[in-house]
Structure 1
Amino acid sequence: MAIDTSAPARGTAPGPAAPARLTGRARLILFVLCAAQFMVALDFSVLNVALPELGRDLGLSRSGLQWAVTAFALPSGGFLLLFGRIGDLFGRKRLFLTGLAVFGAASLLATLAWDPASFLAGRALQGLGAAMIVPTGMSLLTTTFPEGPQRDRALGISGTLLSLGFTVGMVLGGVMTDVLGWRSTMGLLTLFTLVVLPLAPRLLPESRTPDRPRLDVPGAVTVTGGLLALIYALSTAAERGFGGADVLVTLVVGLALLAVFVRVESRHPAPLVSLPMLRRRTVAFGNLGGLVTFSMMSTIVFVLTLYLQEVLGLSAFATGLVFGVQGVLSVFAGTVVPKVVGRFGARRTLVVSLLAQGLLTAGLLGVGRGGGALLAAVAVSLASMAHLGAIISYGLTATSGVPDGEQGLATGLVTTTQQVGITIGIPLLGVLATTGGDLFGGVRTVVAVDAAVVLAAGVLVGLGLRSRGGARAE
């Protein structure tokens, strides 16, 4: 049975609620979309443990290894909004399939890389493919599954796999690098593409806006340039600090371009980002919650990796197992959170999840110099369950009540928030742990600041969403 992709017009009475149970075809569509999102999440972490061996094999210096991450982050974060809008106008399915093909070819290039330039080119193309896959995949999900129990369940599964992909990548990265070498981590992504790409054309419905407004070129140029400059500045700062001239210049340029982008959008007849949409409380505060939960949790994973390996002396494999516990509990949370959202609403779930993540992160202050792996595993795993609650509920909050024709814009904001959050957390706070002489003291400082930021965000989001901002957010 085909899935009803229509949505009631705003201001009209809604039809009967869609059943929570998914048809067989709907399950296959969800599998394709979630597998693609999982693949991109896996790419964020599967290479991390392999970086030292990769550097030795290809001749990349320690500072050059940072570009293995940055080369992916720049296009994946910088082009999200642009590709989200292109998908709206010219076909989300078409761009999703293009992104899969680019990602697969880029993964093969990175697998077969013969020097640093070819490897970094592959990573950059992977990021470009991810920038097509993520917003169009989310748009296809939210337009395919009607708002209500079906969408709650679909986003719950998607959010679980997103969190699990990052964790599985850390565990798999260590195992595969030890057994098969670093190239196997990139080869795995190629195989994922070969599984997903043949299924997608027949299963996925095409989806686009009914009208065809002209593309907002000035907005696309300023927001893409601004995000690229900002991500470059923050990624470089993670390696060298904020004192470098190139970091300061690109940071200022990035902020200036984003300011120009806001002005352009206020005057353009068909803006890339609808400013009235940003004035929706659900969109604004939902994305704020998403930005904080992603940036702060990625920072905690980073500093705990340093703590476990360099303070406690655990191996990369043992460190991966610690985060494996986190992944198992995240899967459990993914089955529970949609039910919690259905009972209490996305807004309340988001606020409670942020507060719980902050409190459980603060529990990491109890780790010591001579031991604490068990406490770290328990605290980060429980915090990750709250984090998953925030991931699912922020996506629901920020896209609820938005017409299908603007879902690409809404999900583009959601996924940009996700990618920028993952990118900026470590440069902003991780530097506190790595620049001082006392790593353990630096880790404790990061944990304290991280917890305070998440708790403050929980309070702010709760206050901001008190006014009516959309039915599902209430």
Structure 2
Amino acid sequence: MSRTDGRKQAALVLLCAAVFLDSMDLSLMGVALPAIGRDLSLPESVLQWLMSGYAVAYGGFLLLGGRIADLFGRRRVFLASLAVFAAASLAGGLLSEGWPLVVTRVVKGLAAALTAPAALSLITTTFAEGPRRNRALGVYSLAGATGYTAGLIASGLLTEISWRLVFFLPVPVALLVLATAPLVLPRGARPPGAREGFDAAGAVAVTGGVLLLVFALTERNWPAGLMAVLLLGAFVVIERRRSAPLVPLEVFRSATVSAANLAALAWACATIGWQFVAVLYLQQVLGYSPLATGLGIVPMGLAIVVAANLAGRLISRWGLGRVAAAGMLVQGAGILLFLRAGATGDYLTVLLPALVVHGIGNGLSFPSLNIAAVGGLPDERQGLASGLITSSVQIGAGIGVAALAAVMTLGGSVLAGYRIAFLTAGGFSLLGALIAYAGLRAPRPVPTIARQGATS
């Protein structure tokens, strides 16, 4: 391996470590919330915002984060946002008041919204399109897909000792990345005319619209949802009229990019929504402790790792659409296998097969969607493409959790509510499989936009 290749591989490891932290932080609070509430005497409304505050900020600022990475330098944005992420994590572990804790979670969500697209666009601009980029994106996808599951596992293990460790966990990893990254990350030239090309009106409209959309889904606040629709509509109008738009709508002329983002939204509705419900099911119906819940999920995480490592080879042989669709069908099968569990599901014969099958499908589908979402776009659009796909996943997570939490109330009993939720999550997987199979083809290059400032 040459020195250049060695630096690229080291950079990939560091970038994936940061994305792993971002994904993990989505789920770290899940198992720890009851312990935090008991220790600090916090009402349920405050506890909910320890989770949703992170998701709202993360989902709301992703598109803006991707464009900021393109305009002001991916390396610079990555390092600065990761430093903020580490500082907010440390502060959260030291605080003992409810709403200040929520503020640290919101700040971390904002930092993650800058870190994730900067990291992904650094990968796609470091590795040329083709097998090497596909392998790199497979590793990146593995880090993102396992991060959420690892957060559930770590939350269960650490909460048995102290919930504060859940806040402290990301700090040493983030500091290690910050210390090493300047040595291996490519500097890259700052795009010309970056500040002149910034679309402030579009940024305000899309960020406000997505923030309100995630808030409406989390709180079931329909007036906020209506306002979100109006703002997102205004965003489309603004982008059509701007000479240097935040999101050039021409990128959606690529059927592959559009289908990848729609399928990723359905993917997240299914898998993130299902994992949220499954954790509640294990603890509330089957009586698992936080530690038992975390350990019980380990096989699913291992299955994701194995499948994601195989995804690149399967994509080269069968193509993005087939692998993504097959993965989402397998993922859905794992979800539906939970219907066998009932009120006293045996772990080895019922739960374990469902978890492993879900993990295999999860590990196959997620890399395919990431590769499709950024393929064929020029380097100056990689931050934008990265922000789009990550935003699709986060918005999908919000929709999935809100939808499954709502349908859980429809059954005549607690167990019937869980069954309806599992069926709904399986339906999301099927929808995503259909979109992926029909819409994902070999990506075709999208020509760089010729208007003044469009390549800034």
TM (norm. structure 1) is: 0.89
Match of 2:363 in 1: 388
* Counterparts of residues 221-300 of structure 1 (less than 5 Å): 221-237=204-220, 247-300=221-274
- 1:317 pairs, out of 291, 294, 298, with 291
How far 1:377 moved relative to its partner? Answer: 2.5
Deviates more, 1:101-110 or 1:54-63: 54-63
Deviation readout 1:355-384 (Å, 9 max, x if unpaired): 222233223222222224332231132122
Counterpart CA distance in 2 for 1:56 and 1:50 is 10
Query: Compared with structure 1, are the counterparts of its residues 355 and 175 closer, same or farther at alpha carbon in structure 2 (3 Å cutoff)?
Result: closer
Question: Structure 1: which amino acid aligns with 2:134?
Answer: D
Query: Compared with structure 1, are the counterparts of its residues 334 and 98 closer, same or farther at alpha carbon in structure 2 (3 Å cutoff)?
Result: same
Structure 1 alignment gaps of length 5 or more: 4-22, 238-246
Match of 2:454 in 1: none
1:69 aligns with 2:43: no
How far 1:2 moved relative to its partner? Answer: 6.3
How far 1:461 moved relative to its partner? Answer: 3.0
Question: Structure 2: which amino acid aligns with 1:380?
Answer: L
Deviation readout 1:212-233 (Å, 9 max, x if unpaired): 3511111100000001101111
Give every structure 1 segment of 4 or more consecutive aligned residues whose post-TM-superposition deviation is greater than 3 Å.
Answer: 207-213, 434-437
Match of 2:117 in 1: 135
Deviates more, 1:345-354 or 1:250-259: 345-354
Question: Structure 1: which amino acid aligns with 2:315?
Answer: V
Counterpart CA distance in 2 for 1:324 and 1:316 is 13
SS in 2 for 1:48: helix
Query: What is the aligned residue count?
Result: 442
Counterpart CA distance in 2 for 1:449 and 1:395 is 24
The question of whether the paired residues in 2 share the 8 Å contact of 1:323 and 1:381 is answered with no
Counterpart CA distance in 2 for 1:412 and 1:469 is 18
Counterpart CA distance in 1 for 2:80 and 2:99 is 24
**Superposition RMSD in Å:** 1.8
Match of 2:174 in 1: 193
Match of 1:414 in 2: 389
How far 1:469 moved relative to its partner? Answer: 4.8
Match of 1:242 in 2: none
Deviation readout 1:239-275 (Å, 9 max, x if unpaired): xxxxxxxx11111111111111111111111111121
Match of 1:6 in 2: none
Match of 2:452 in 1: none
Percent of pairs identical after alignment? 38
* Counterparts of residues 198-209 of structure 1 (less than 5 Å): 198-207=179-188, 208-209=190-191
Counterpart CA distance in 2 for 1:84 and 1:471 is 20
How far 1:37 moved relative to its partner? Answer: 0.6
Counterpart CA distance in 1 for 2:315 and 2:265 is 20
Deviation readout 1:102-145 (Å, 9 max, x if unpaired): 10111111011131122112111111110110010110011111
Counterpart CA distance in 1 for 2:411 and 2:172 is 42
Match of 2:418 in 1: 443
Question: Structure 2: which amino acid aligns with 1:193?
Answer: A
Deviation readout 1:187-241 (Å, 9 max, x if unpaired): 111111111111112211134545535111111000000011011111113xxxx
Question: Structure 2: which amino acid aligns with 1:299?
Answer: G
- 1:59 pairs, out of 41, 47, 51, with 41
Deviation readout 1:157-193 (Å, 9 max, x if unpaired): 11112222222221221221212x1111111111111
TM (norm. structure 2) is: 0.93
Structure 2 alignment gaps of length 5 or more: 447-456
